Amino acid sequence: MNLTSEQLGEEGEGVFASLCNKAGLTANKSSKDAFGWDYVVERMNDEDPAVPLDRRSKSTARVQVKCSAARGSAVLSLSAAERLAKDPNPSFIVFFRMKDDGTPVRGHLIHIIGDNLARVLKRLRTAHALKKRDLNKQSISFDPARDGKVFELSPQGLKSAFDTAWGQDPSAYAQHKLMEQANLGYEEGGFAAEAFVRFENEDHLSRVLMGIEPLRPERYRTYDVRFGIALPHPTNDIFDNADIYLSPRRIDTCRLTVRGKGMITPAVFDTEVSFPWIEAGLGNPTMLIKHADFHLRMTNEAEINFETTDIFRNERSLDEWIGLITLLTALREPARIVLEFGRMGVFDFPMTGSFPFTGPYDAELPKILEFLRGWRAMAQMAGIDRSKPFKFDEIWDGHFAALAVEMNKPVSSAKLEWAPGSFDPHEAPVECLTYLHFSFLGHDLFLSARASIDEDEGQLVSSRFSILDLRQAGTDIEAYAEEIGREHDIDLRIDIGNLMRQQPMLPP
């Protein structure tokens, strides 16, 4: 006897209820078509008799039962699918393949999670975009073989299928499903915008595409994009008074070496190489070589544009300042730029001219670089930490540090002079110990140096200095000077801190 589809459905529900009863699962029948599911299935999560009754937990699942005697799909209304999808509890479609007389042949468990959940959410998104809000008149189908898993037609077979899909932690399951409900469909990003932007010229366009200058739309419209379906964003003021920076394509890494005229030590920086997603100029693409402190824009026509990014406001270590100022100093005159790419090889660019600098301290850069390199040698001598960051303006406080650097040069412009008659001509000293207590870049230091004394046109002057010691300062500068003088057998000791007028040794 062949059963009608309605009779097959009733037989299927009976098979399901019977299997649940024999498996120890409680299957509560819902009112017909009231909730979008046929049964609420309850089970105990802790079946171990050793677990106290007051600590056993119970969880529930929503189940829609579908049957077919032909090779068909599980079809349900979109409103019913929505309820299964939106419920944080486990939701299933149990599908029975049956003979015409209602005898079950095979069972499939279709779990509304993952890809199946995404299909429901996408259909709901599509219905909203098409303004088809009557979900009862729309349907969605699932292929049991593709979208579900076969279970044995026995109480244990059904229970085992439920246990595998359901898990043992209801809270973790609900949290996972809620996360999928919120995030599925946004894998490719969930935001899009249309904007009207005005560019002043091609260079302005190039700088925006490179992410150097912000994009400032005059008007725009934003969209929430899910499953590739764009809907107007609920708020359309995201970009109001905002600076939007584009991110160019990062294609390689690059070691940038710049050697200035007469420089023994070049400036070396590790950078990233990028191209814009859209080329601003026709036939003359721009490559961006970017560092945190500066960038170079280079074109196929070998045009090079160099810009820094507010470098003198940030704190840096001594070595970082030396590297950066070495670069700036080198580019003041024709320099040689070498680009060593990670994948594209090595390119050498001899510059025929210098960059037109407009920033601060341009004229003082060579002198500042000489001082910082000299101070690095002094810091190594004293064994002080060179990694501590400091602001550029702190350099101007280095009056005595600049004197120490000058005294350490083979030919120094620093000298001491004695007025005529200061010493008996027959007892004039040939050397003296100069010493100094000073602070620089957070370090408190004692310095001592031997000064050779010669006569110059009837006047005694120091002709050269030799640094004897540089150390972290103690408590008594005079005791320090006595110690160094005794160690080097020098009787005449001069505190040059008392003699030196505190005029800046560097440009203000």
> Is the pLDDT confidence value at 250 over 80?
yes
> Is the pLDDT confidence value at 505 over 60?
no
List pLDDT tens digits, range 149-191.
999 999 999 999 999 998 888 889 999 999 999 999 999 888 8
Q: Is the separation of the CB atoms in 299 and 284 below 8 Å?
A: yes
User: How big is the chain, counted in residues?
Assistant: 508
What CA dihedral angle connects 342, 344, 349 and 354, to 10 degrees?
-60
Answering whether pTM is above 0.75, one says: no
Q: Is the separation of the CB atoms in 188 and 228 below 8 Å?
A: yes
Overall average pLDDT of the 248-254 stretch = 88
Q: Is the separation of the CB atoms in 110 and 142 below 8 Å?
A: yes
Q: Is the separation of the CB atoms in 239 and 193 below 8 Å?
A: yes
Q: Is the separation of the CB atoms in 57 and 10 below 8 Å?
A: no
Comparison of pLDDT for 101 and 54, the residue scoring more: 101
Comparison of pLDDT for 283 and 214, the residue scoring more: 214
> Is the pLDDT confidence value at 142 over 90?
yes
State which H helix or E strand residue 365 sits in: helix 365-382
Overall average pLDDT of the 406-434 stretch = 79
Comparison of pLDDT for 73 and 32, the residue scoring more: 73
Q: In the chain, where are the structural domains located?
A: 5-183, 191-232, 249-362, 394-499
Of 278-287, 308-317, 389-398, the one with minimum mean pLDDT is 278-287
What is the band of 90 on the pLDDT scale with cuts at 50, 70, 90?
A: very high
Tokens representing 70 are 């032909």
Q: Which residues contact 409 (CB under 8 A, 6 or more apart)?
A: 374
Task: Please tell me the predicted confidence (pLDDT) of residue 48.
Answer: 65
Q: Is the separation of the CB atoms in 493 and 481 below 8 Å?
A: yes
> Is the pLDDT confidence value at 358 over 80?
no
Phi, psi angle pair for 22, to nearest 5°: -75, -25
What is the band of 33 on the pLDDT scale with cuts at 50, 70, 90?
A: low
Tell me the average pLDDT of the chain: 85
State which H helix or E strand residue 74 sits in: strand 74-77
CA–chain centroid gap for 236, Å, is: 27
Tokens representing 250 are 């990062």
Distance CA 135, CA 143 (A): 20
Give one DSSP letter per residue of 433-482, joined into a string. Answer: EEEEEEEETTEEEEEEEEEEEEEETTEEEEEEEEEEEEEE--S-HHHHHH
Distance CA 255, CA 426 (A): 63
Task: Please tell me the predicted confidence (pLDDT) of residue 501.
Answer: 43
* Residue 364 neighbours by CB distance under 10 Å: 15
Alpha carbon separation from 188 to 184, 191, 496 (Å, rounded): 10, 9, 69
| 377 burial type by CB count under 10 A (0-12 exposed, 13-18 middle, 19+ buried) | exposed
> Is the pLDDT confidence value at 421 over 70?
no
Q: What residue type is assigned to position 74 of the chain? A: A
Tokens representing 390 are 């400091």
> Is the pLDDT confidence value at 488 over 60?
yes
Overall average pLDDT of the 317-334 stretch = 90
List pLDDT tens digits, range 44-54.
776 666 667 66
Distance CA 356, CA 349 (A): 18
According to CATH, what is the number of the domain 5-183? Answer: 3.40.1350
Of 32-41, 139-148, 152-161, the one with minimum mean pLDDT is 32-41
Strands 431-440 and 493-495: parallel
